[in-house]
Every structure is written in structure tokens, then in C-alpha cells.
């Protein structure tokens, strides 16, 4: 039995350019497994590699007329197309992953920042309500210490009061504030 001579890659590409689907099928049968291996080595993902192979042969179907045999062999052109498509897909996948990661961190950060802001706001309101429940002299000394950052000596000087009086008022104010905050926290837990 004698075998028919095999159609060259160049002849197949010219036939594909003329719209010959059988020529495309023959070229696919001839090189798909080799090209899939190449693409797979670049992408390390079989489903992605199979998609790229299909896209590449679709590109061959659409652009077979672009093949110039003076610039190289048909197989070399196919390898170039496969490699370019695989690298494009690799970049696209990496870009999608970076975007997804950034979005995840950004949205997590936004949620975290928003929830932190709400928590701080709620805590500040609880402290304000508790401060409103202590006597004025004690409140004034605590506000100067914790909100304005003054030392006990600076508070005594500003209020024109003895240092011992300021210390006593701050200590009494802190005890009363602790009690009021405890009550408010229990009521928040009960109300939840």
C-alpha cells in the first residue's frame, strides 16, 4: 500500500485562507497536541490551555491569509500564535487575580474602617453619656486630663485649685465614671 503524500502546512494554510474547513481540521489534527503541550507549559492550567488552543485555531481560521511563507514555516507561525495567546492569557489571569485581591482588600478595608468608625462613635457616645452623669468639678478635671492631655499640676493651675483637690476629684470622677460605664455597657448588652 502506498501512502498519499501529506499536504504541506503552507498548502493547508492557503486552503484555510480560502475558507476550507477540512484544511483547518487537518491542521488541528496535525498540531493540536503539540501546541496544547506548549500552552500548558506556559499556563500550568489545563482548562485555560484548552481554551487558548481553541482561540488560537479560531485566529488561524480568521487570519490564515496573514501567513507569509517567505517569513517562515507554517508550524513556526502556529507556535508563535500559540505562545502569544498563552502569554496574553497568563497576563489577563494575573491581572484578574490582582484586581480581585485588591478589591477584596479594599472592600475589607472599607468595611473594617466603617465598622471601626461606628464602634468608636458608639463608644464615644457611651463615654459622653457617662461623663454627663458625674459632678461638674470631677467632669471638668477628667476632660482636661483625657481630652486636652493636661497633667494634674496643669489642671490645678488652670482651675486655680490645690493639686490635692484635683487629684481627689479625678480619682472620685474615675470611680464614678467606671460605675456609670459598667451600667451603660450592661444596658447595651441587655438591649442587644
Separation between Cα atoms, residue 128 and residue 151, nearest integer Å: 21
More confident residue, 190 or 117: 117
Tell me the pLDDT tens digit for each residue of 69-105: 999 999 999 999 999 999 998 888 887 777 878 777 6
More confident residue, 44 or 116: 44
Third-level CATH fold of 133-191: Arc Repressor Mutant, subunit A (1.10.10)
User: In the chain, which residue ranges form alpha helices assigned H by DSSP?
Assistant: 9-17, 21-43, 46-63, 74-132, 136-146, 152-159, 163-191
For residue 161, the number of C-alpha atoms closer than 13 Å in the C-beta half-sphere is 16
CA angle (159 as vertex; 154, 164 as ends), nearest 5: 70
Tell me the pLDDT tens digit for each residue of 115-154: 677 667 777 777 778 788 889 998 888 888 877 788 888 8
Domain boundaries, the chain: 9-100, 133-191
* pLDDT at 2 (0 to 100): 47
Residues 6+ apart with CB under 8 A from 43: 49, 52, 86, 89, 90, 93
Cell numbers at residue 22, please? Answer: 477540512
User: Of the CATH numbers 1.10.3720.10, 1.10.1370.30, 2.40.50.140, 1.10.1740.10, which one belongs to the domain with range 9-100?
Assistant: 1.10.1740.10
Amino acid at each position: 500500500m502506498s501512502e498519499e503524500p501529506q499536504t504541506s502546512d503552507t498548502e493547508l494554510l492557503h486552503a484555510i485562507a480560502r475558507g476550507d474547513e477540512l484544511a483547518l481540521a487537518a491542521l488541528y489534527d496535525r498540531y493540536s497536541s503539540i501546541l496544547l503541550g506548549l500552552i500548558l507549559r506556559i499556563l500550568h492550567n489545563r482548562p485555560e490551555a484548552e481554551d487558548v488552543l481553541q482561540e488560537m485555531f479560531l485566529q488561524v481560521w480568521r487570519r490564515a491569509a496573514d501567513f507569509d511563507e517567505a517569513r517562515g514555516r507554517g508550524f513556526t507561525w502556529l507556535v508563535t500564535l500559540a505562545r502569544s495567546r498563552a502569554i496574553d492569557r497568563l497576563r489577563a489571569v494575573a491581572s484578574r487575580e490582582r484586581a480581585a485581591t485588591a478589591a477584596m482588600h479594599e472592600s475589607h478595608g472599607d468595611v473594617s474602617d466603617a465598622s471601626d468608625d461606628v464602634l468608636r462613635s458608639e463608644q464615644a457616645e457611651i463615654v459622653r453619656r457617662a461623663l454627663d452623669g458625674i459632678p461638674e468639678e470631677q467632669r471638668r478635671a477628667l476632660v482636661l486630663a483625657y481630652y486636652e492631655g493636661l497633667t494634674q499640676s496643669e489642671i490645678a493651675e488652670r482651675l486655680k485649685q490645690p493639686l490635692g483637690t484635683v487629684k481627689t476629684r479625678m480619682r472620685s470622677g474615675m470611680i464614678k465614671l467606671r460605675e456609670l460605664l459598667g451600667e451603660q455597657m450592661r444596658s447595651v448588652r441587655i438591649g442587644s
